[in-house]
Amino acid sequence: MQSEQNQYRGGCHCSNISYQLSSRRDWQKLVPRQCQCSFCMKHNNRYLSDSAGRLQVSIGQQRVSYYRFGHQLADFMVCGCCGVMPLVCSVIDGKRYAVININTLEPALEYSAVVAVDHNGEGLETRLQQCRESWIADVTIIAEN
């Protein structure tokens, strides 16, 4: 852990969905997770999060789709204009959590390895607890007009 705040930015291809993350962690030194579900595998999504980080998400005027499957726990935010999915959000006990698709970081960070994560067979409460413990817990979403 570092004492200073690192700033990371990213978003979809057309910038309709963009984000800024403040984190004390050096994301270049972390190992991303690659979910083994069919949706994430088909999109080659890789994820990182920092439970102590702060995330601000801006959504532009273009359409955004929210895709849910499985436990119906999380909203995969997909840009309706360019089709890129920069992040996943979930509201648990009235609090919003999120995880970043690192393929959408700008500039891109290079990772030599990923950890495969398979959530198949997990119960809802187990999955919720994992999100509470590891996902970004300070999330603000701003809809721009």
Q: Is the dihedral of CA 120, 55, 17, 26 positive or negative?
A: negative
Residue 83 lies in a domain: yes
| pTM confidence score | 0.86
Q: Total structural domains in the chain?
A: 1
Q: List, for residues 23-70, the tens digit of each pLDDT value.
A: 999 988 888 988 888 888 888 899 999 999 999 999 987 899 998 887
Residues near 125 by Cβ (< 8 Å), separated by ≥ 6? none
38 found inside a domain: yes
Decide if 16 is inside a domain.
yes
Does residue 13 fall inside a structural domain?
Answer: yes
Cβ pair 77, 87 in contact under 8 A: yes
Position 61 in a domain? yes
Q: Is the pLDDT of residue 72 over 50?
A: yes
- Expressed as residue numbers, the domain containing 49 is 6-143
Has residue 105 been placed in a domain?
A: yes
Strand spans (E) along 36-129:
47-48, 54-59, 64-67, 75-79, 87-92, 95-101, 105-106, 115-117
Q: What Å distances lie between residue 35 and 42, 60, 101, 115, CA to CA?
A: 11, 28, 11, 8
- Does residue 41 form part of some domain? yes
Please provide the average confidence, as pLDDT, over all residues in the chain. 89
Q: Is residue 1 part of a domain?
A: no
Lowest mean pLDDT among 72-76, 89-93, 116-120: 116-120
Q: Which residue has the higher pLDDT, 81 or 119?
A: 81
Residue 28 is part of a domain; what is its CATH number? 2.170.150.70
